Amino acid sequence: MGPLLMLGAGRMGGALISGWRRAGLLSPADLMIRDPYPGDEAKAAIAEGALHDPDPAAMGRADTVLLAVKPQLWREAAGEVSQALAADAIIVSIAAGVPAAEISKAFGGRAVARIMPTTAAAIGQGTASLYATDPAAAARAQVLFAAVGAVVELENEELMHAATAVSGSAPAYLYAFVEALEAAGAAAGLPADSAQRLARATIAGAAALLADSGEEPAELRKQVTSPGGTTQAALEVLMGEGGLGPLLETAVAAAARRSRELGA
């Protein structure tokens, strides 16, 4: 990878820096960071040689620009750097909801790839939804994000809203579930530390088995559900009327709706 200019280096940007360094894709010397308040991973990269707040001449050397600011700030970020960039610089955006055509226009017509990643990129276990009509932009985004996890390409940009809701936002759904499971364990009488250890280790192990076994989630669920047993009793609540199915459908719809609002 040639020089990469990162516009915004908060939590998601920091996760990507960690993942890229872990994968050997980018060294600090390959990285330029433009953020008045960089996160810890960005600060560590800066301390090891990444360029902080590069001048226009330095930004002009960037082959790739990662747009990683909050969606409400992306136009301002584009306006501040666009004129300094090389004509063939590729823009890779992780700004939720913002259409590729709008980003390209703000960056002077440059090629754009849209990506919705997850913070597990920090440990090489991320997931990213990708949309790009320009082959070079798509290829650049593939190189960047395949190095830190799985990439799913979408043919229709409208699907990015659903992908954001199902993948980009979904780690928070899981963390919320674990929080609730810990609290439920404590309410059932377990010491708080025991409920915490049991809930976290069990969910982590179940997720690892799902990834490693190749089995469908429904099949794994059946394998641990004895007829008339304790698991079935719990699932009758979780999968009953108003349970996880309709609740998640409503939640995903709300996230997708908000993604469209941010783009507008």
Please list the pLDDT of the chain residue by residue as tens digits (264 residues): 779 999 999 999 999 999 999 999 988 999 999 999 999 999 999 999 999 999 999 999 999 999 999 888 999 999 999 999 999 999 999 998 899 999 999 999 999 999 999 999 999 999 999 999 999 999 999 999 999 999 999 999 999 999 999 999 999 999 999 999 999 999 999 999 999 999 999 999 999 999 999 999 999 999 999 999 999 999 999 999 889 999 999 999 999 999 998 877
d(CA 29, CA 238): 50
* pLDDT value of position 262: 84
97: left (phi over 0), alpha (psi -120 to 50) or beta: left
Residue position matching structure tokens 């390209």: 104
d(CA 42, CA 55): 18
- CA-to-CA separations, 131 to 79, 89, 101, 159, in angstroms, rounded: 23, 17, 12, 9
Structure tokens at 170: 């979904």
**Which pTM does this prediction carry?**
0.86
Distance of CA 160 to the CA centre of its chain: 12
d(CA 103, CA 92): 10
* pLDDT value of position 72: 86
- CA-to-CA separations, 140 to 100, 170, 246, in angstroms, rounded: 15, 25, 38
Distance from first CA to last CA of the chain, Å, rounded?
A: 33
What is the amino acid identity at position 118? T
- CA-to-CA separations, 111 to 36, 69, 80, 87, 224, in angstroms, rounded: 26, 18, 18, 10, 49
